[in-house]
Structure 1
Amino acid sequence: MAAEFGRTDNLDNDTMVRLQSLTKTALIVRTFNDKSNLIAVEMAQTRIRTEDDGV
């Protein structure tokens, strides 16, 4: 998992654990942002459809 940051064979165990923890946190934040963006897009599409219908 941490390999995407480059060479990890010279890192000690604590650094590896911290790096993996940061990676997991970044993935969680990214997933949350993607869902928020998806909700915003769905709301915008609903608003556009409503305006098109003249409601």
Structure 2
Amino acid sequence: MDGEANGGEFVSDTVRWSDMEEVKVKGGDGRWYEGEYEYTFEKRLREKEKSGE
């Protein structure tokens, strides 16, 4: 987003549901509403390789 500023450019990546930790923080009402959840994950940015150098 900010190009070379703040550490350079990074490759695109994906976070999958299976990589996330799910924690139910509030119960549902017993009908269609199943409650509130928090999802956490760890991901490290990988620098984009510079071409032509």
TM-score interval, smaller chain? under 0.3
Q: Hey, which of these two has a bigger chunk of strand by percent?
A: 2
Which fold has the larger relative contact order, with Cα–Cα distance below 8 Å and residues 6 or more apart in sequence? 2
When Rg is computed on C-alpha atoms for both structures, the one with the higher figure is 1
Q: Hey, which of these two has a bigger chunk of helix by percent?
A: 1
